[in-house]
Amino acid sequence: MASKSRSSLKIRPWQVFGLILALATAGLILYGTWPYITGEDSEDDRQLTEEPEAARAPVEVMVIERGEFPLRAEATGHLAPWRRTEISAEIGGLILERPIEEGQRVQAGQVLLQLDDREPLIR
């Protein structure tokens, strides 16, 4: 029976780690709240109250009101395409139809221009 009670009292490494972590957390909390518990000012608070009047910055207070906010902004800059492609026709001729507009997205194999190919076929 004595061996049974000894095995139940065995301390595991994770229990030691948990105890150390709990003590460290409690110490940090106590360190951070000590000035409030004792009623003493912290050193940072003392420095703030000891600053001369001339070192303080002037502050302006305003009442916030609801108003219009422009959703459009104008700016000057330089635009450049991410990718540039040059295309050319295998034959020359007059343009009969242009089914797309400049700047429009196109797919591979999509017709860009319909050329009048009657003249080259005659030759």
The conformation of residue 51, written as its DSSP 8-state character, comes to S
The conformation of residue 117, written as its DSSP 8-state character, comes to -
Residue 60 lies in a domain: no
6-17: average pLDDT: 80
Q: For residue 37, what pLDDT is reported?
A: 80
CB 93 within 8 A of CB 117: yes
Query: Which domain does 118 fall in, by range?
Result: 91-123
Task: Place 26 in a pLDDT band, splitting at 50, 70 and 90.
Answer: very high
Note the pTM of the prediction, 2 decimals: 0.29
Q: For residue 59, what pLDDT is reported?
A: 87
**Number of independent structural domains in the chain:** 2
| C-alpha dist (Å) from residue 104 to 41, 84, 99 | 67, 13, 10
Q: What is the C-alpha to C-alpha distance for residues 121 and 99, in angstroms, rounded to an integer? A: 23
Closest CA to 97 of 119, 117, 112: 112
Residue 81 lies in a domain: no
Residue 57 lies in a domain: no
